[in-house]
Amino acid sequence: MTQHFSYQDDTLNIDGISLKELAIEYGTPLYVYSKKALVENFRQYADTCKRFESDKIHSLVCYSVKSNSNLAILNILGQEGAGFDIVSGGELQRVIAAGCDPRKVIFSGVGKTANEIGLALKHDIHCFNIESFAELHRINQVAQEMGKQARVSFRVNPNVDPKTHPYISTGLKENKFGIPYEEALACYKAAASMTNIDVTGIDCHIGSQLLDDAPLLEALDKLLHLVDQLSEEGITLKHIDIGGGIGITYDDEKPVAISDYLTRLFTRVENWRKQKHPDQSIGLMFEPGRSISGNAGLLLTQVQYLKTNSDKNFAIVDAAMNDLMRPSLYEAWHKVLPVSNRKGEATSYDIVGPVCESGDWLAKQRELVIQADDILAIMSAGAYGMAMASNYNTRGRAAEVLVDNGNAYLIRRRETPEELFALESVLP
């Protein structure tokens, strides 16, 4: 539990505001975020980067929109100077709607459509991260039809094991992402010959929830070797994008400190630049998501019933797998805290939701002292929580509240049943 979430008079608070009062005012399920935590997490990246910037080294921290795409959160980070890493045209439109600069957007993802490419070119985004040779041709074609130059980098798959969950590993040969390391040189040569392509950088993202930076630095070394090869071929790159992936603490994990990781990375790049390319300027780009938004938010849910089947105890709550998919999707672990800290003997409960699936659970075997109607806080839910939510079982998605300087703001209201089927129609 971070300094932003603490018990006061046996009631869990967020930055000094009672979570019980927020649950009463806005209902549950309810996502609650701390602006202070969000900004502090971003500044861990931004402030460390600033320490290493010079006339030869510059940087841009591009928040991964897919981790949490609420407009208020994007707006806050945009005001902090963030760029944005997107994976769809819809996410680009979110960035623009939040009042942020599309020229600080990098567009990743393996399946960009012609319409999405055209939208990105129209708004003059910073760069496309290309993930296949076929995508290169499509971007060149769309740019040609629009009379524009498309700035591109290739997402290179370095075949580095990130030692994380297989569902969030993206840098191995068997993953769908990026182009194989061995094919990168040929792809860059082809791109450099295209009239409507401006080759500007190289990209890599090997996975998510990394606790150790050794795999990231190993991937960086491979990218630097490739940049040297490209330079020998007359292709000079303007930036290196090392991706994101630094993990957070869900239980007792001890992820590498962001400042320590960035210090090692900048030092390695600067030593390489001085030895190999002393006259060249280079930009470093990063794509953090979870490490910015993850521990800045939680999900509040109310206990509906306590139930015992033989020797198994269940706390049936009003949040479900459609509200927080991570536990059902890959057995992710989230700490569960009672908002009201009761005294008494704890009982082991599985925290389950009302959705009609056996996979609808939020936590298993948690020792809790709780009663029906109590409020529980599912911690570390600020990333890939609301962003992955669905309307399964015709359940409206949760409301979202952001706490800032002693005030709570509703940044997304709860969906109504009528809104869920407003786009549908019956046959005449």
The residue written with tokens 């570390």 in the block is 380
Output the six-digit token pair for 366.
């948690």
Give the number of other CB atoms < 10 A from CB of residue 394.
Answer: 9
How far apart, in whole angstroms, are the C-alpha atoms of residue 146 and residue 141? 9
How far apart, in whole angstroms, are the C-alpha atoms of residue 210 and residue 117? 31
Is 166 marked as a binding-site residue? Answer: no
**Cβ proximity of 177 and 170 under 8 Å:** yes
Is 103 marked as a binding-site residue? Answer: no
Strands (DSSP E) along 325-424, which ranges?
A: 336-338, 347-352, 361-368, 375-378, 399-404, 407-412
Output the six-digit token pair for 213.
């930076």
- Looking at residue 66, the DSSP 8-state letter turns out to be G
Is 290 marked as a binding-site residue? Answer: yes
SS3 270: helix
Is 33 marked as a binding-site residue? Answer: no
Catalytic residue numbers read 356
Is 135 marked as a binding-site residue? Answer: no
CB half-sphere exposure, 335, CA atoms < 13 A: 19
Is 326 marked as a binding-site residue? Answer: yes
From 222, 247, 242, select the one nearest 287 (Cα to Cα). 242
Is 357 marked as a binding-site residue? Answer: yes
Residues placed in the known binding site for pyridoxal 5'-phosphate? 245, 287-290, 384
Residues placed in the known binding site? 245, 287-290, 326, 330, 357, 384
Residues placed in the known binding site for substrate? 290, 326, 330, 357, 384
